[in-house]
Amino acid sequence: MLHKRGVLFFGFVLYKLALDFAYWKITSVDTAIYQFDFNALKYINGWVGCIIIFLCIPHKKNYASTCFLYFKFLLEIIPITVLYGMANENHIFYNILIASFSAVAIVVNCKKFVIQTTKKSANKLIILICVIVVISLCINLYRRNGWPTTLALNFDNVYELRGSGIFKISKYALYILRYAIFVMIPFLLTNALCKKKYIYIVFYASLTVCIYLYTGMKSYVFMLPLIVTATLWSARKEFYYEFFLSFSLGTSLIVLFYNCHGLINKIYSFFIRRVMFVSANNKFKYFDFFSKNPKMGMAGELPRWMIQINNPYPEGIGYIISEVYYNRPKMNSNTGFMVEGYMRFGVWGMALVFFIFAVLLLLIDNLQLKSSYQAAIGISIFNIFILSDGYLLTVVPWLLFIPLLLFYSERTANSGSYRRRLSLRSLHMKEKLR
């Protein structure tokens, strides 16, 4: 175990150095949006913060929460750390963030609870409801928009599609669309993958592509390889170490061979620059903006028919950030949940959001206990991924769906994953007895 953890640590160090180099030599010289202002003390502080988090994450425990903690560490914390030292960013926000994330890792590691549910499986009923809703949604999209356009088949045209206004959808159908993408399709696809029902896999993937062609949201089509890869790979005993070592080495190779081929250049731009550095850069800009201006509270998140909340930024905070910091008022600079709490309520809001994140991870572990490690990873990974660019409180309805999934107690994985689930139950009982 120590040897595996050492290899994982080596991968993390290589990954961090690769992103340092990428920001210094590629991203910071690519556009005026980024600055290079190296600060040695902050750079060292960043390494210390990352090592603390690495040590807080319980790598040896076979919980889905452990996988997602390390996933967010690599996907968000390290890019934020790179900008903290390389762009001389705000030390208050960074250190609060490190403390908050470390606290989540410690709480999730130490505290486990089991939600008692009925022994009756609701698997077939949940699947039927989800299939009916997703098919009805696609029919509704066709009736309002006709056949989908082919603009979205070229990733370079998706922003033209989204800005054209040709996509029409009602307010209530939009709620259903988000629920279908964030909850129902991941559940259906994971269920089919675990049970190796290939016809259903193709069918659910086709529905996802159909929705993408209408909306032009690249994350919707990216969810397919993410869920398929994670679900199938997580059936392996050494998934945790293989997945994250491959993630670290793969990212490092993309940086190393950046100028070798146009395809690698595009992968870097779409994944490392867009998913990592853009989001990390925006987090510091959001913190700076809301340290000087009124906080948003829950404005814009709760339906107006339910409660009226005055929004101090009705034109959209993403566009304001773009205008103030980048002089691009038509660009929407969105970012993830790690600065959401401060944006809404200040420092105590960060504590609130990270507490909700810890509860989310504990609920996912409950889902694992009721089904399997493989199912918990597949159902949850897309939602964990999009938190890099989305707000946690926006997807709170997803939290309400997890207790429903806890009724889904049917075995969904192969015997290897089932043995892992039994081992996890035994580990949980030992911890409870202690």
Element of type H or E holding 35: none
Band (pLDDT 50/70/90 cuts) for residue 400 is low
Q: Same domain for 267 and 405? A: yes
Per-residue pLDDT tens digits for 64-73: 999 999 999 9
Instruction: Kindly list the distances between the CA atom of residue 364 and the CA atoms of 89, 254, 269, in Å, as whole numbers in the listed order.
Output: 33, 32, 32
pLDDT of residue 418 exceeding 50: no
SS3 state of residue 74: helix
Residues 366, 63 contacting (CB under 8 angstroms): no
Q: Same domain for 325 and 237? A: yes
Q: Same domain for 58 and 176? A: no
The percentage of the chain sitting over the pLDDT mark of 70, rounded to a whole number, equals: 83
Q: Same domain for 203 and 274? A: no
Two structure tokens written together for 218: 């690249």
Mean pLDDT of 405-433: 50
Q: Which of 240-254, 268-282, 331-345, 388-402 has the lowest mean pLDDT?
A: 388-402
Residues 398, 143 contacting (CB under 8 angstroms): no
Q: Rounded to an integer, what distance in angstroms lies between the CA atom of residue 104 and that of residue 110? A: 10
Q: Rounded to an integer, what distance in angstroms lies between the CA atom of residue 83 and that of residue 93? A: 12
Mean pLDDT of 185-206: 92
- Indicate the residue among 232, 264, 289 that finishes a domain: 232
Q: Rounded to an integer, what distance in angstroms lies between the CA atom of residue 189 and that of residue 166? A: 29
State residue 137 phi and psi, 5-degree precision. -60, -45
Q: Which domain holds residue 211?
A: 123-232
Higher pLDDT among residues 400 and 274, named by residue: 274
Nearest CA to 363 among 397, 403, 395, 323? 403
The percentage of the chain sitting over the pLDDT mark of 90, rounded to a whole number, equals: 47
- Indicate the residue among 176, 209, 232 that finishes a domain: 232
Two structure tokens written together for 258: 């950046």
User: What's residue 281's pLDDT?
Assistant: 94
pLDDT of residue 397 exceeding 90: no
Residues 31, 269 contacting (CB under 8 angstroms): no
Q: Same domain for 221 and 240? A: no
Band (pLDDT 50/70/90 cuts) for residue 160 is low
Q: Rounded to an integer, what distance in angstroms lies between the CA atom of residue 243 and that of residue 71? A: 10
Q: Same domain for 272 and 415? A: yes
Identify each DSSP E strand in 39-115 by its residue range: none
pTM across the whole model: 0.88
User: What's residue 399's pLDDT?
Assistant: 55
Mean pLDDT of 6-21: 95
Q: Same domain for 76 and 137? A: no
User: What's residue 419's pLDDT?
Assistant: 45
Q: Rounded to an integer, what distance in angstroms lies between the CA atom of residue 44 and that of residue 32? A: 26
Instruction: Kindly list the distances between the CA atom of residue 405 and the CA atoms of 65, 83, 189, 365, in Å, as whole numbers in the listed order.
Output: 16, 38, 14, 12
SS3 state of residue 134: helix
User: What's residue 372's pLDDT?
Assistant: 87
Higher pLDDT among residues 260 and 41, named by residue: 41
Q: Same domain for 388 and 356? A: yes
pLDDT of residue 173 exceeding 50: yes
Q: Rounded to an integer, what distance in angstroms lies between the CA atom of residue 54 and that of residue 51? A: 5
Residues 274, 336 contacting (CB under 8 angstroms): no
Q: Rounded to an integer, what distance in angstroms lies between the CA atom of residue 109 and that of residue 111? A: 6
DSSP label at residue 151:
G
Per-residue pLDDT tens digits for 325-355: 988 887 888 888 999 999 999 999 999 999 9
To the nearest 10°, the Cα dihedral for 249, 251, 257, 258? -170
Average pLDDT, whole number, for the chain?
84
Q: How many domains does the chain have?
A: 2
- Indicate the residue among 202, 232, 262 that finishes a domain: 232
Q: Same domain for 188 and 299? A: no
Residues 106, 355 contacting (CB under 8 angstroms): no
Q: Same domain for 399 and 370? A: yes
Q: Same domain for 28 and 175? A: no
Q: Same domain for 68 and 138? A: no
Per-residue pLDDT tens digits for 25-38: 999 887 778 889 99
Q: Rounded to an integer, what distance in angstroms lies between the CA atom of residue 406 and that of residue 275? A: 31
Per-residue pLDDT tens digits for 284-336: 999 999 999 999 887 766 666 566 777 788 778 888 999 999 888 878 888 88
Q: Rounded to an integer, what distance in angstroms lies between the CA atom of residue 288 and that of residue 343? A: 10
User: What's residue 10's pLDDT?
Assistant: 94
